Each structure stands twice: as C-alpha cells, then as structure tokens.
Amino acid sequence: MKLLMISGDRSILQRKQGAFWYTLQELRKHFDRIDVICPRIPKASRNGDAMTHGGESALVGGSVYFHPCPWSLCFQSRWIIRKGRELVSTFGHDVATVHEYPPFYNGMGAARLAAKIRIPYALEIHHIVGMPRASSLMEWIGWLLSRLYLSRDARSANAVRVVNEKVGRQLMKWGVPEKKISVVPSFYLDKKLLTSIERPPIIYDVAFCGRIVTNKGLRKLIEVVHSLHGVRLVIIGDGPLRTKCEDLVRSLGMQNRVAFLGWMPDLEAVLGAVASASIFVMCSRSEGGPRSVLEAMAIGMPVVATPVGVVPEIIKDGVNGVITTGEPEDLAKKIRMLLSDSAMRERMAKEAPKILDTFERGKLIKEYADFLKSLATEKKKG
C-alpha cells in the first residue's frame, strides 16, 4: 500500500533528525512507498544536497521520498494539487494524510486534489493554535481562524485524526461530526532507546527542552529561576527568541547559572542533556503534546508541567509528576518543592517511566498505519 503525506515539516530536508524522522523510520515499515509533499526549504537552511527545487530526496530510507515546493508558501496549495496528481498518477497511492494548521494551505490543496482524483484522506489536527491560552496576538488570530475554518476543512476529509481527547472535544464544539473524529496518539516513544539512557552526573537543577518561541514560556522560566537562589538551568533547543532570552540572562547576571546548548544532533544527545538536570520543567501556554515531557518522564525525570496538550491525561499530580498553573509564583513554588524533596523525586523517577507501556513507538505507529489503511479499505468497500 502507498501513502501520500502532505506536511509542513521539512526538518528532514534540513538534516535534522527530530521527531518526524523517527516517525517516518517506523511508518515506512507499514507502507510500500511514502511520498511527502512539503514547503520549500528556507534559504538560511539550505545545505548541499538537502536543498532541492521540486525534486526528490530520499533521506529516511529507500521507500520515503520528499517533494519540496519550488515556490513560496503562497503557492503551496497549487503545488500540492500539481505534484499530488503527478505522484498518484505515477504510483497509484491508496490513501493520503494531511497535517493541518493555519493558514490551512495543506487542507485547501488536499481538498481540491481529492476532488480531482478521488483519493481518500485524513485531516490530522495535532494541536489547535492558542488552546487553551493564546500567548500572542498571532496565536489568538490562529485560534480564531481555526474556529472559523476547521469544521469546513473537515467536510471533504474522510476522517479527522486528533492526538488527544481535548482537541477532539473542541472540534466537536465547532461542528466537526463526532463520527469523523478518531483519537490516534502521536507521542511515539522509542522504548529501546529510552531505557538504555544512563543518567550522567547531575550538573544542573532544571532542564528545559523545546523550540524557543513565545508560547513555550522560556522567558518566564528564566525569571523564575533567577528568583530561586543558586538554581541552575540548562536549555536545549533553538528558535527565534533565543537571542532575546540570552540577553535576558545577561541582564540578570545569570551567565554562570544558565547554559544554552542549542539543537542537539539526535534524540540520544537530547536525552543525555535533559538527564543532566535534577528535574524537567515545561511551562507552555499551549501545546499539542508536548513530546519532550513524555520523553523526560520515560527516562525517569521528575517533571513540573502546565496542564496543556496531553499532560492532563498522563500526569497524576504528585504521583508521576507535578502540575503547575504556569504563573510565576506557582511555578517557583513547585520547582522549589521538588528540588528540596529528594524522596519525592525518587518516587516520581520510579512512576514516570510507566508511560512507556502506553506510548511505545512501534505499537502506536502500527495503530496509526492501520487507521490510514482503513480509509483505503473503506473506499474499496464503497
């Protein structure tokens, strides 16, 4: 069976071995061929043969091919239709899946493509921008556009995949039929890798891992750490606000207490850096996952997290993690509490890895593949 994937993720073409790379490594075991239509790579990210103009790059394995748009995002929907028709005509794909988010060019292109070639497809909504709380004007606009458009977007799709129940309930409130919605988690954990990670010597108190953007709350975390005498913070990740956060660290005189490590080459390096701290903190205002919390828990890290994304479904407050409102006073209180109570940290270190039984990568990706294949099967029956 062959899968056509329409995505905004071009990290693999930028030579980043992140979550998308690990997902496709496993997903390709379930399909004869996977073609990924994605946007063009930004000029700043072009790296040798990783940059193509509408060509093919098989960077995951022989059965996965990438087709980046040769034009700007303004023409992405047109590229999806043009390239999609060409690929399906050549290889006869059985099913398609579409990663959707504002400004909805993936969904628009997929709907028009499906109308022309009659291919069944799933609309995947991993996260609703600005839910539960918008952290910027742009996120508020994204939330409003999602409210106005997603129910319409879902009409032409055969199914809508969400990755947690909260997103599914919100879509139903906005008019997406319940029968179209399937909860298929995307928080794939590599049990073999995660259980092989050995904790290095502890040199930091708090670890943060994620893209450095507004909704992640890193600036707030830095200010909270500043208020906690002697607490050391390690930051894994990069993003447009990194320079401003580094400036904040300097202005607070925290250079000896905060380390910016940037992007790490692979997941093993990321987990090693995370494990060099006593606890892991995630204080985002909105999230689809986040995967970083699950990975930290899987390696036995005590976690302090805001109740966003899948967190309310996996963390039992005080048992396998600690829930915070994310407000500075509460965040400081929870960090201080956990750092000062070694017995609590030890209990959580034993309880947290049990999530591996729920989110094991091989099992969940098989369920994802079976979900997509079922759409093709239903079409044949119809």
Boundaries of every domain in the chain: 2-188+360-381, 191-357
Distance CA 273, CA 202 (A): 10
The distance from CA 46 to its chain's CA centroid, rounded to whole angstroms, is 22
- CA dihedral 82→69→38→132, nearest 10 degrees, is -100
pLDDT at 17: 81
Question: 2-188+360-381 with 191-357: one CATH topology?
Answer: yes
Distance CA 110, CA 346 (A): 49
pLDDT at 265: 87
pLDDT at 53: 44
pLDDT at 45: 54
Structure tokens at 156: 């032409």
pLDDT at 48: 47
Closest CA to 322 of 341, 10, 167, 2: 341
Distance CA 338, CA 335 (A): 5
Structure tokens at 83: 């390239």
Tell me if 309 sits within 8 A of 127, measured CB to CB: yes
Provide the 10 A C-beta neighbour count for residue 65. 19
The rounded radius of gyration (Å) of the Cα atoms in the chain is 21
Q: Which overall architecture, per CATH, does domain 191-357 show?
A: 3-Layer(aba) Sandwich (3.40)
Give average pLDDT by consecutive 10-residue segment, the chain, 382 residues. 97 85 92 96 59 51 88 96 98 98 97 96 96 91 97 97 94 98 93 90 97 96 98 98 98 98 92 97 91 96 95 95 98 98 97 94 96 88 62
Give the fold, CATH level 3, of 2-188+360-381.
Answer: Rossmann fold (3.40.50)
Peptide bond into 120 cis (omega under 30): no
Residue pointed to by tokens 């905060």: 258
- State the maximum Cα–Cα separation within the chain, in Å, rounded to a whole number: 67
One-letter amino acid at 218 equals L
Instruction: Name the pTM for this structure.
Output: 0.85
